[in-house]
């Protein structure tokens, strides 16, 4: 897996995965259905997992902004903000545990299959 220690790095990864998924949707018909479906599923799962962390991060930021705009709510919102921040970190940790070196290698093999052709794809059965 990668060394994604910051929320920002994981957010960037999510954006890049989204771009890859869109490219696959655009050009996927040029490739064998099996490779296309497998790669799409891998990218979608990655995005879903990263999206869960991002959703909590966004909620924490929105609640923080509300707390700053409405100081009378700050004490009430502090617990909610802390919960959202913890949930975001838990989801990031879950992603880091899920995205193993093997998953990374399988995704890279699929990418090579898209770029070089399906005969180079070593993760065909994965």
- Convert the chain into a string of H (helix), E (strand) and C (coil): CCCCCCHHHHHHHHHHHHHHHHHHHHHHHHCCHHHHHHHHHHHHHHHHHHHHHHHHHHHHHHHHHHHHHCHHHHHHHHHHHHHHHHHHHHHHHHHHHHCCHHHHHHHHHHHHHHHHCHHHCCCCCC
Distance between CA atoms of residues 11 and 27, nearest Å: 24
78-111 residue pLDDT tens: 999 999 999 999 999 999 999 998 998 998 888 8
Model confidence at 121: pLDDT above 70:
no
Mean pLDDT, the chain, integer = 87
Question: What mean pLDDT do residues 41-49 have?
Answer: 93
Residue-level pLDDT at 124: 44
């Amino acid at each position: 897996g990668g060394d994604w220690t910051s929320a920002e790095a994981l957010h960037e990864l999510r954006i890049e995965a989204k771009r890859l998924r869109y490219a696959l949707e655009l050009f996927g018909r040029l490739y064998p259905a099996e490779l296309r479906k497998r790669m799409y599923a891998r990218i979608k799962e990655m995005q879903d997992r990263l999206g869960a962390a991002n959703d909590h991060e966004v909620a924490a930021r929105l609640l923080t902004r509300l707390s700053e705009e409405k100081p009378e709510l700050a004490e009430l919102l502090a617990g909610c903000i802390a919960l959202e921040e913890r949930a975001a970190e838990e989801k990031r940790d879950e992603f880091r545990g899920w995205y193993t070196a093997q998953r990374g290698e399988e995704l890279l093999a699929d990418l090579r299959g898209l770029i070089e052709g399906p005969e180079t794809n070593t993760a065909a059965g994965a």
